């Protein structure tokens, strides 16, 4: 039996398994992207790590099926046979997709049809219903090299009219330019960045599991969580899990803002897997996912410095929801801002290559 407060286990389950349908956020955007699929476009879902892209992909597939009466299949493009998850050839990716298509045909009772290993999605054109294919972790394909990656994208997105594809594309400085030209700007492709969640969605995400255990996060505590996380759900749930792990096992009642404030220092965070993951995710976003111009902008905003930053870097980070404009530009999320500041000031030293 876990020695933790049961609420900590609930939050940890949400972190690792994702939210159930009733807690899934950003449903308006899911509807918009599902409408793009059913209108005949492919869809690209973009964003930094742990912003909720996979959850949105699955929600979009579900809603597209509901809108059209069609069916969906899903494939994580990471190679499950390798520790690094990186596919080693176009043929290996197509072989896994062929297996997935064969399983799908069996599920819908079309076992007389056979998938072509060189173009596994083509056989789905023999079915009368709309078919939606979700491909997660497109970033894993960068190991194939630019030429092979583009070749594979062309193969995956050249589909029969009844088959539409939704893909997840992480932001990563090594492949952003390639994704922009070969994917985002592709004719018939709709794309969107996954934004932060709304305040109401944050309240539901935090207090719905809490209330099931007789616990409530006060409005002040919710405000601190929102300020720290920038309304990014994975970060918010991580702070909630850390706070719940500090609760006595039989605790019921209200959690105040001090319980959250007490968590936010590097020494405290370093004592837990969840805390270290928060720091690692912020550093990975800053160092590997952002362009040099975007990284410079974040450092300037975090330390209050001045400098020239291209407008497109500002626009790109506004699109992701990581930079917002109220009274001037600012970073969305005090925790991320603190990590960026620590990097800019040399408190945290990271490799840039």
Residues of the chain with pLDDT under 70: 1-2, 351-353
Tokens of 97: 């997709």
Domains recognised in the chain with CATH numbers: 27-193 (3.40.50.300), 197-264 (1.10.8.60), 278-344 (no CATH)
Note the pTM of the prediction, 2 decimals.
0.93
> Which pLDDT does position 264 carry in this prediction?
87
Q: What is the spatial distance between Cα 78 and Cα 296, in angstroms, rounded to a whole number? A: 31
Q: Which of 102, 52, 49 is nearest to 75 (CA)?
A: 102
Residue 136 bridge partners (DSSP):
76
Residue 110 CA, chain-centre distance (Å), reads 33
Closest CA to 299 of 225, 237, 261, 352: 352
CA–CA–CA angle 273, 197, 8 (5° rounding): 35
Q: 273-324 pLDDT, tens per residue?
A: 999 999 999 999 999 999 999 999 999 999 988 888 999 999 999 999 999 9
Q: Which residues have C-beta within 8 Å of that of residue 185, sequence separation ≥ 6? A: none
pLDDT at 328: 86
Instruction: List the one residue out of 98, 126, 122 whose CA is nearest residue 112.
Output: 126
């Amino acid at each position: 039996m876990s020695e933790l407060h049961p609420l900590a286990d609930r939050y940890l389950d949400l972190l690792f398994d994702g939210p159930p349908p009733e807690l899934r956020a950003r449903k308006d955007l899911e509807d918009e992207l599902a409408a793009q699929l059913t209108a005949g476009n492919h869809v690209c879902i973009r964003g930094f790590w742990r912003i909720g892209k996979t959850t949105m992909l699955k929600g979009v597939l579900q809603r597209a099926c509901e809108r059209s009466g069609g069916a969906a299949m899903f494939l994580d493009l990471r190679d499950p046979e390798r520790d690094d998850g990186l596919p080693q050839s176009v043929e290996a990716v197509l072989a896994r997709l062929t297996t997935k298509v064969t399983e799908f045909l069996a599920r819908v009772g079309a076992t007389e049809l056979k998938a072509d290993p060189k173009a596994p999605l083509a056989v789905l054109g023999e079915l009368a219903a709309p078919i939606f294919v979700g491909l997660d972790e497109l970033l894993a394909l960068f190991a194939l090299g630019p030429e092979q990656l583009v070749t594979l994208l062309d193969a995956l997105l050249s589909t029969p009219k009844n088959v539409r594809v939704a893909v997840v594309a992480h932001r990563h400085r090594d492949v952003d330019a390639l994704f922009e030209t070969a994917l985002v700007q592709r004719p018939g492709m709709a794309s969107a960045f996954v934004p932060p969640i709304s305040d109401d969605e944050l309240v539901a995400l935090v207090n719905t599991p809490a209330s099931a255990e007789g616990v409530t996060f006060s409005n002040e505590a919710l405000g601190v969580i929102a300020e720290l996380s920038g309304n990014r759900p994975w970060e918010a749930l991580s702070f909630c899990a850390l706070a719940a792990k500090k609760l006595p096992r039989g605790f019921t009642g209200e959690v105040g803002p001090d319980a959250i404030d007490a968590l936010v220092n590097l020494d405290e965070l370093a004592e837990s897997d969840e805390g270290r993951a928060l720091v690692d995710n912020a550093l990975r976003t800053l160092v590997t996912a952002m362009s040099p111009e975007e990284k410079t902008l974040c450092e300037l905003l975090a330390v209050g410095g001045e400098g020239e930053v291209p407008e497109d870097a500002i626009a790109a980070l506004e699109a992701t929801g990581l930079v917002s404009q109220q009274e001037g530009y600012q970073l969305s999320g005090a925790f991320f801002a603190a990590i960026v500041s620590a990097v800019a000031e040399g408190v945290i030293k990271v490799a840039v290559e």
